[in-house]
Amino acid sequence: MVKISYKDNPDGTQSVYELNINYGEALKNPEEDTTDQLVIQKIIAAHSILLMFQGVPAIYYHSLLGSKNDIAGYEKSGINRRINREKLEINQLTSQLESDPYRNKIFTSLTNLIQIRRAHPAFSPFSKQEILNLGSEVFALRRKSADECIYGIINVTCDEITKEIPLNGVNLLNEQRVSGKVMLSPYEVLWILQD
């Protein structure tokens, strides 16, 4: 479900102000198999791209916490903005972050990406970046500081693909070595620290 909120203009007309939909729900594509697992991978991939770029990223806390559309909140209040602004109760949320596989996977994956970003000088807001062309199926970005070079390679399709990766290194997300041909699952993320 998506609702549209409008703003009133000085001339009496209205303009679209915002789409009211949770980010994870907005990533669902009707043409794809939109299982929770695929949506989780898309959310992680989208945020990994955000976290790769120069600057200081902004992450909406409902995205970090794996919130879904709050249809009940919208229906109860009649306020469009309630769809993507679920009211959270701390004890229930704490329990869900441990027991709900959807919330847990998103929260642990995004916090892991953030911790990796904080630990590596290549992710400094001031380090260099270069967008690489490895084909339309992947988003690829290189971040480079005086001390290290990290490549972000993200499959942006719902298909398993094979790519020739022109470097040797270690994927910081799982500590596995990467070189040569790599098979990427749908929306898989690699953050490769170059040797």
List pLDDT tens digits, range 104-122. Answer: 999 999 999 999 999 999 9
Whether 127 and 108 map to the same domain: the answer is no
Whether 19 and 101 map to the same domain: the answer is yes
Whether 176 and 90 map to the same domain: the answer is no
In the chain, the number of structural domains is: 2
CATH code where residue 143 lies: 2.60.40.1180
Strand, helix or coil at 153? strand
Whether 140 and 56 map to the same domain: the answer is no
Confidence band for 131, pLDDT divided at 50, 70 and 90: very high
**Is it the case that residue 97 has pLDDT exceeding 80?**
yes
Nearest to 22 by CA among 83, 97, 96: 83
Of 87, 119, 151, the position where a domain reaches its end is 119
Whether 12 and 104 map to the same domain: the answer is yes
Using alpha carbons, list the distances in angstroms from residue 175 to 50, 84, 116: 21, 35, 12
Whether 85 and 145 map to the same domain: the answer is no
Q: What is the pTM of this model?
A: 0.89
The token pair that represents 154 in the structure block: 């993200």
Whether 51 and 83 map to the same domain: the answer is yes
Whether 101 and 136 map to the same domain: the answer is no
Cα 190 from Cα 178, distance rounded (Å): 9
Cα 151 from Cα 142, distance rounded (Å): 4
Whether 182 and 145 map to the same domain: the answer is yes
Cα 113 from Cα 156, distance rounded (Å): 17
Whether 77 and 166 map to the same domain: the answer is no
Whether 43 and 112 map to the same domain: the answer is yes
Cα 159 from Cα 103, distance rounded (Å): 24
Residue 44 burial by Cβ neighbours in a 10 Å radius (0-12, 13-18, 19+): buried
Confidence band for 33, pLDDT divided at 50, 70 and 90: low
- Residue 74: give the domain boundaries: 1-119
Cα 66 from Cα 22, distance rounded (Å): 9
Of 77, 103, 119, the position where a domain reaches its end is 119
- Give the mean pLDDT of the chain: 93
Whether 111 and 134 map to the same domain: the answer is no
List pLDDT tens digits, range 135-185. Answer: 999 999 999 999 999 999 999 999 999 999 888 999 999 999 999 899 999
